[in-house]
Amino acid sequence: MTFPFDIALVWLDLAGVFFFAVSGSLLAARKQFDIVGSLLLASLVSLGGGVIRDIILNTTPAAFSNPAYLAPPLLATLLVYFLFSSVQRFTSLLILFDAGGLALFCITGTLKALSLGMNPFAAVLLGVTTAVGGGLLRDITANEVPQLFDPKDIYALPAFAGATLTTILWVTGSFNALTASVVAAVVFAFRVTAWRRSWHVPLAVRGWQRLGLDGAGRPRD
Amino acid sequence: MTFPFDIALVWLDLAGVFFFAVSGSLLAARKQFDIVGSLLLASLVSLGGGVIRDIILNTTPAAFSNPAYLAPPLLATLLVYFLFSSVQRFTSLLILFDAGGLALFCITGTLKALSLGMNPFAAVLLGVTTAVGGGLLRDITANEVPQLFDPKDIYALPAFAGATLTTILWVTGSFNALTASVVAAVVFAFRVTAWRRSWHVPLAVRGWQRLGLDGAGRPRD
Amino acid sequence: MTFPFDIALVWLDLAGVFFFAVSGSLLAARKQFDIVGSLLLASLVSLGGGVIRDIILNTTPAAFSNPAYLAPPLLATLLVYFLFSSVQRFTSLLILFDAGGLALFCITGTLKALSLGMNPFAAVLLGVTTAVGGGLLRDITANEVPQLFDPKDIYALPAFAGATLTTILWVTGSFNALTASVVAAVVFAFRVTAWRRSWHVPLAVRGWQRLGLDGAGRPRD
């Protein structure tokens, strides 16, 4: 470790919280929620993943022990309220900020699990859970089909890649500020490229795409 | 503290559980769930907020350590089954019982956090989480748009006001049975009046109401 | 106890995890999720109930302390991907595997609560929560009406019966491998028969079925 670990982890985590909070406020704007709903959705998406992580790790959730965690959702709500004006760029902005949160949370979730002594498999699982948990809560609450399950998009794989890379770097003792930045950049680029190019992976059952049948046995449209 | 604190807290909490449980059974009736679904939805809404609170506080959830917490959902289910007959008064009754639960839970959630040594910001956040958590679970489970996010209504602000007032009273040493009752009455009146008069707060983005555009750039209907 | 208790409990739990995981992958197939979504939904449904159980019991969730728990969702995803071919048998298969998970989880959830010293009422409540929790998460996430609340079906009662029987056997000292198998068989048979024969229980409000009115006061269709 070549940098003050705990403080850097908190700053990384806070940056991730801010990115996810903006994605929550943007979704609230699109769903025409009011400004209180915007603050609530921003808080849920940005703090939810970390709260789940810390509850599983059996520590007091960071959002409840450190008041600094309440600033990013407030800031995001105000930024979207005062600065947002275009109705065209919603989706792009939401995807970009969400990808930023994803890239940071898969690292901080994995790191916190490893530093508290979890085994590598559990650390990867918890990193992915932290990264996708807040967005899943956001989409379920706003009654959207979760991005996570969109078969025309790739969402969980970048988080899985980031959590795995973080674990490998940690176990081999080569995790530092530089390698962490590379991992975050890779996850962000993977996620955004997958969305822009509509990359996708095979469906849950082999052969249905070839047969041209959908899950109910009807011809696909 | 001028009254036996722990016992009073449990009774307040149980009263809140009962109010929320009735709101759950009423929603189950409207959605035509059966009597088992009524009991389950009543349990989820009335015990869910407190379970989330106690998990975050890292204590055994009250519902699992004190069997008395199982009585209110049972009672509410039976009351709705045997006594409810009108199909007109659903919404009013649901809002009133829900407001009763909200008024009590924002106090008990905040108090429990403060008495376990949380900082004031965390206590307010946890009070609001306790108060709105059960209702959010109820609405998500019953596949309704959460009341919490209805832009034509005010739901979270009364809980926030109640949690803030409770924290101020506690910190200044003036929290007692009388001031607690006043806070509960204020929260209840705020919530019910906001609903009756359709009070609302600004949307998540400034200026769209003036422009007459909705979130997708279409003229508002 | 006539068999090595902890090891048997883990194996029972893993079998339940596998059954629920298959139900998750089958639902993912029907919803046309991709193979990553299939793995995620399988993990959520199969590990979610146990994670909720262990968080309430304030122990590290089994899925995060024992990597063996990650095998069943992986296996289920691969089995559904390679072996599933018919589009007709979805519902039957999903119900059968789900019933298998339900039968095992209501036993393991109750047992774990009792062995950690919870009172019998809490143990029954936690057994039911463990058994229905994963399926509820699965249905909410996949945007389906939760099976749990379908008034034309019986879902929670078998879990309640299983948790109650397990508690009685434990308290009377007659819980062993044989009686556990009988309880699991009873729960499974109860659940599957209720589904096949469309058993149902009364609605949440007495008399509406007789009146031929639905919850909004309109004549029933």
State pLDDT tens for residues A99-144.
Answer: 999 999 999 999 999 999 899 999 999 999 999 998 888 888 877 7
SS percent in chain B: helix, strand, coil, step 5: 70, 0, 25
Tokens linked to A95: 């995807």
- A–C: how many Cβ contacts below 8 A? 90
Q: Are B82 and B22 in contact, with CB atoms under 8 Å apart?
A: no
Cβ-defined contact of C125 to B25 (cutoff 8 Å): no
Higher pLDDT, A47 or A84: A47
Q: Which of A157, A202, A204 sits opposite C28 (nearest CB)?
A: A204
What C193-197 contacts at long range (C-beta under 8 Å, 24+ apart), as own/partner pairs, is: C194/C153, C194/C154, C194/C155, C194/C157, C194/C158, C195/C95, C195/C99, C195/C153, C195/C154
DSSP helix/strand/coil, B212: coil
Cβ-defined contact of A118 to C64 (cutoff 8 Å): yes
Measured CA to CA in angstroms, residue A20 lies from A89, A133, C38 at distances of: 17, 11, 25
pLDDT band at residue A86 using 50, 70 and 90 as cut-offs: low
> Is C52 part of the contact surface with chain B (CB cutoff 8 Å)?
no
Tokens linked to C215: 């919850």
Q: Which of B113, B122, B205 sits opposite A80 (nearest CB)?
A: B205
> Is B140 part of the contact surface with chain A (CB cutoff 8 Å)?
yes
Work out the minimum CA distance from B181 to partner chain C, whole angstroms.
31
Look at residue C209 and tell me whether its pLDDT is greater than 70.
no
pLDDT band at residue A217 using 50, 70 and 90 as cut-offs: very low
ipTM of this complex:
0.84
- Using the structure block, give the residue that is written with the tokens 């959605």: B31
Q: Are C46 and C21 in contact, with CB atoms under 8 Å apart?
A: yes
> Is A125 part of the contact surface with chain C (CB cutoff 8 Å)?
yes
What is the distance between the alpha carbons of residues C99 and C211, in angstroms, rounded to a whole number?
34
Q: Are C148 and B143 in contact, with CB atoms under 8 Å apart?
A: no
> Is B217 part of the contact surface with chain A (CB cutoff 8 Å)?
yes
Cβ-defined contact of B65 to C206 (cutoff 8 Å): no
Q: Which of A31, A58, A70 sits opposite B125 (nearest CB)?
A: A70
Tokens linked to A37: 């709903």
> Is C84 part of the contact surface with chain A (CB cutoff 8 Å)?
yes
What is the distance between the alpha carbons of residues C48 and C65, in angstroms, rounded to a whole number?
14
DSSP codes joined into one string, C147-203: GGG-TTS--HHHHHHHHHHHHHHHHTT---HHHHHHHHHHHHHHHHHHHHTT----B
Q: Are B65 and B9 in contact, with CB atoms under 8 Å apart?
A: no
Cβ-defined contact of C140 to A140 (cutoff 8 Å): yes
Instruction: Write the single-letter amino acid at B217.
Output: G
Share of chain C above pLDDT 90, in %: 48
Contacts of C154 in chain B (CB under 8 A): 36
SS (H, E, C) B113-163: HHHCCCCHHHHHHHHHHHHHHHHHHHHHHCCCCCHHHCCCCCCHHHHHHHH
Cβ-defined contact of A29 to B215 (cutoff 8 Å): yes
> Is B40 part of the contact surface with chain C (CB cutoff 8 Å)?
yes
- Dihedral of CA atoms C116, C40, C100, C167 in degrees, nearest 10, equals 20
Convert A140-152 to b/e letters by CB count within 10 Å (16 or more is b). bbbeeebbbbbbe
Identify the DSSP state of B29: H
Model pLDDT, residue B98: 92
Residue A205: φ, ψ to 5°: -125, 135
Q: Are A155 and A191 in contact, with CB atoms under 8 Å apart?
A: yes
Look at residue C165 and tell me whether its pLDDT is greater than 90.
yes
* Mutation target among B23, B25, B27, B32 for the C interface, most CBs of C within 10 A: B32
Q: Are A30 and A90 in contact, with CB atoms under 8 Å apart?
A: yes
pTM of the complete model: 0.86
Per-residue pLDDT tens over the stretch C104-161: 999 999 999 999 989 999 999 999 999 999 888 888 887 777 888 888 888 899 999 9
Q: Are B113 and B28 in contact, with CB atoms under 8 Å apart?
A: no
Q: Which of B60, B80, B84 sits opposite C58 (nearest CB)?
A: B60
For residue A166, give every residue at least 6 positions away whose Cβ sits within 8 Å of its Cβ, in sequence order, or none.
A106, A107, A110, A111, A114, A127, A175, A180, A183
What residue of A is the nearest CA neighbor of B220?
A32
Model pLDDT, residue B128: 94
DSSP helix/strand/coil, A217: coil
Work out the minimum CA distance from A65 to partner chain B, whole angstroms.
7
Per-residue pLDDT tens over the stretch A198-212: 887 887 777 665 445
Instruction: Write the single-letter amino acid at B40.
Output: L
Work out the minimum CA distance from C86 to partner chain A, whole angstroms.
9
Look at residue C4 and tell me whether its pLDDT is greater than 60.
no
What is the distance between the alpha carbons of residues B202 and B195, in angstroms, rounded to a whole number?
16
Q: Which of C118, C201, C214 sits opposite B64 (nearest CB)?
A: C118
> Is B25 part of the contact surface with chain C (CB cutoff 8 Å)?
yes
Work out the minimum CA distance from A30 to partner chain B, whole angstroms.
5
Q: How many CB atoms lie within 10 A of CB B67?
A: 14
Identify the DSSP state of A220: P
Work out the minimum CA distance from A80 to partner chain B, whole angstroms.
6
For residue C27, give every residue at least 6 positions away whose Cβ sits within 8 Å of its Cβ, in sequence order, or none.
C41, C45, C94, C138, C142, C144
Q: How many CB atoms lie within 10 A of CB B6?
A: 9
What pLDDT tens digit does each residue of chain B (221 aa) get? 444 567 778 888 899 999 999 999 998 888 888 889 899 999 999 999 899 999 999 888 988 988 899 999 999 999 988 887 765 677 788 899 999 999 999 999 999 999 998 999 999 999 999 999 988 888 888 777 788 888 888 889 999 999 999 999 999 999 888 999 999 999 999 999 998 888 878 877 776 654 455 444 444 44
Per-residue pLDDT tens over the stretch A153-196: 888 999 999 999 999 999 999 888 899 999 999 999 999 999 88
Q: Are A37 and B148 in contact, with CB atoms under 8 Å apart?
A: yes
Share of chain A above pLDDT 70, in %: 89
> Is A51 part of the contact surface with chain B (CB cutoff 8 Å)?
yes
> Is C87 part of the contact surface with chain A (CB cutoff 8 Å)?
yes
Farthest-apart Cα atoms in chain A, separation: 58
> Is C176 part of the contact surface with chain A (CB cutoff 8 Å)?
no
- Using the structure block, give the residue that is written with the tokens 């890239």: A103
Strand locations in chain B, DSSP E?
Answer: none
Q: For the packed helices C90-115 and C156-171, what is the interaxial angle rounded to 10 degrees?
A: 30
Model pLDDT, residue B2: 40
pLDDT band at residue C8 using 50, 70 and 90 as cut-offs: confident
